[in-house]
């Protein structure tokens, strides 16, 4: 097959799969609008940007959960999703039916005061945890590759082109952590579920672009690979500085076979605020 033929074949796949994804998305929209008033519906109705996310329209593969030679579930690969994302915040989408976000009055006031230029993603700053940068892909890397990992790295494509590192070697959290965007993460496996415990966050990031956080934030992620193409992240958020009790949100992730993470230098040409009138053009 020539490169040109391969390209045409790939494009055929795009068209076919996109038609399917449109139907699926329409169903998703309907479901989300009923589930999260003011969240999903508001964002979708205003997202006219030309694929402001990653533009991926590939096929999610079917198959069994892959495993390393020692039997440990293999989570490596290029993924999308797994947390609240988008430019307008959508943490509510991850709540169980009937659940609410127990935000404290001071945090609620802070959220209400947030403007366009307070959105860290729009400012080309890290999305933080558990926020996932829009629909851009990220790659999970486990090392060593032939047995249970001692280190896991999450390499983000976008917003910003950065990484998280999860220490799987049995160490504890340091007691003198400086506040940071991604915090300090330790992890372990409970059966086939990867558990990641993270603390040491700053208060500049947010949970999803809207919901605020404090330096007391403690995140426990439980990543479970359901099959070859799907993973679920059950996230427990405990931040007594902003929320009256711990609460859970759950977000799916899908494998992007054939895709690679690309360079994304957000500060290269960020013109946020000019079209909206928040910043004067220079």
Partner 1 sequence: MTARLVALVIGMALLPAAVPVGAHHGFSSEYDEKKPVTLTGVVSKLEWTNPHARFYIDVKDASGKVTNWNFELASLNSLRRNGWTQFTLKVGDVVTASGYAALSGVPMANASSVRLPDGTRLFAETSAPSVQQTPQP
Name which of 176 and 263 has its Cβ closer to partner 1. 263
Answer yes or no whether residue 31 interacts with partner 1 by CB under 8 A: no
Residue of 6, 20, 22, 106 interacting with partner 1 (CB under 8 A): 22
Site for partner 1 in 223-262 (CB under 8 A): 259, 262
Interface mask (CB under 8 A) for partner 1, residues 99-118, using x and -? Answer: -----------------x--
Answer yes or no whether residue 122 interacts with partner 1 by CB under 8 A: yes
Site for partner 1 in 37-56 (CB under 8 A): 40, 43-44, 46-56
* DSSP class of 120: T
As a dihedral over the C-alpha atoms of residue 157, residue 159, residue 163, residue 166, rounded to 10 degrees, the angle is -110
Q: Spell out the alpha helix ranges (H) of 36-104.
A: 40-46
Both tokens of 6, joined, read 């391969």
How far is 132 from 156, CA to CA, in rounded Å? 9
Answer yes or no whether residue 150 interacts with partner 1 by CB under 8 A: no
At residue 246, the 3 state secondary structure works out as: coil
Name which of 41 and 179 has its Cβ closer to partner 1. 41
| The one segment of 59-67, 119-127, 142-150, 182-190 that binds partner 1 by CB under 8 A | 119-127
Answer yes or no whether residue 2 interacts with partner 1 by CB under 8 A: no
Minimum CB–partner distance for residue 95 and partner 1 (Å)? 17
Answer yes or no whether residue 185 interacts with partner 1 by CB under 8 A: no
Residue of 35, 57, 111, 188 interacting with partner 1 (CB under 8 A): 57
The CB-based long-range contact list for 18-21 (8 Å cut-off, 24+ gap) reads 18/57, 21/57
At residue 230, the 3 state secondary structure works out as: strand
At residue 41, the 3 state secondary structure works out as: helix
Residue of 1, 15, 62, 64 interacting with partner 1 (CB under 8 A): 15
How far is 207 from 205, CA to CA, in rounded Å? 7
CB 76 within 8 A of CB 255: no
Selection from 222, 265, 228 nearest residue 78 by Cα? 228
**Burial letters 112-132, b for 16+ CB under 10 A, else e:** eeeeeebbbbbbbbbbbbbbb
Both tokens of 175, joined, read 């007691």
Residue of 76, 135, 193, 250 interacting with partner 1 (CB under 8 A): 135
Q: Which residues bind partner 1 (CB under 8 A)?
A: 7-8, 11-12, 14-15, 18-19, 21-22, 25-26, 28-29, 32, 40, 43-44, 46-57, 85-88, 116, 119, 121-122, 124, 133-136, 157-159, 259, 262, 264-266, 268-277, 281
């Amino acid at each position: 097959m020539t490169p040109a033929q391969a390209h045409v074949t790939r494009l055929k796949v795009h068209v076919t799969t996109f038609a399917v994804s449109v139907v699926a998305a329409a169903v998703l929209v309907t479901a989300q609008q009923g589930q999260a008033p003011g969240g999903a519906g508001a964002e979708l109705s205003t997202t006219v940007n030309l694929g402001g996310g990653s533009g991926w329209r590939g096929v999610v593969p079917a198959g069994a959960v892959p495993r390393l030679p020692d039997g440990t579930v293999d989570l490596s690969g290029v993924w999308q999703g797994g947390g609240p994302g988008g430019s307008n915040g959508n943490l509510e989408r991850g709540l169980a039916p009937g659940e609410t976000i127990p935000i404290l009055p001071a945090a609620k006031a802070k959220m209400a005061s947030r403007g366009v230029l307070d959105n860290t993603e729009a400012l080309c700053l890290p999305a933080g945890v558990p926020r996932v940068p829009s629909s851009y892909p990220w790659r999970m890397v486990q090392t060593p590759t032939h047995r249970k990992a001692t280190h896991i790295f999450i390499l983000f494509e976008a917003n910003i082109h950065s990484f998280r590192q999860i220490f799987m070697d049995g160490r504890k959290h340091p007691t003198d952590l400086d506040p940071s965007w991604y915090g300090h993460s330790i992890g372990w496996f409970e059966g086939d579920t990867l558990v990641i415990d993270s603390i040491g966050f700053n208060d500049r990031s947010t949970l999803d672009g809207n919901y605020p956080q404090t330096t007391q934030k403690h995140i426990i992620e439980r990543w479970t690979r359901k099959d070859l193409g799907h993973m679920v992240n059950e996230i427990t958020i405990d931040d007594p500085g902003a929320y009256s009790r711990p609460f859970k949100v759950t977000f799916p992730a899908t494998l992007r076979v054939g895709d690679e993470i690309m360079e994304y230098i957000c500060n290269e040409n960020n013109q946020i605020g000019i079209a909206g009138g928040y910043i004067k053009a220079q």
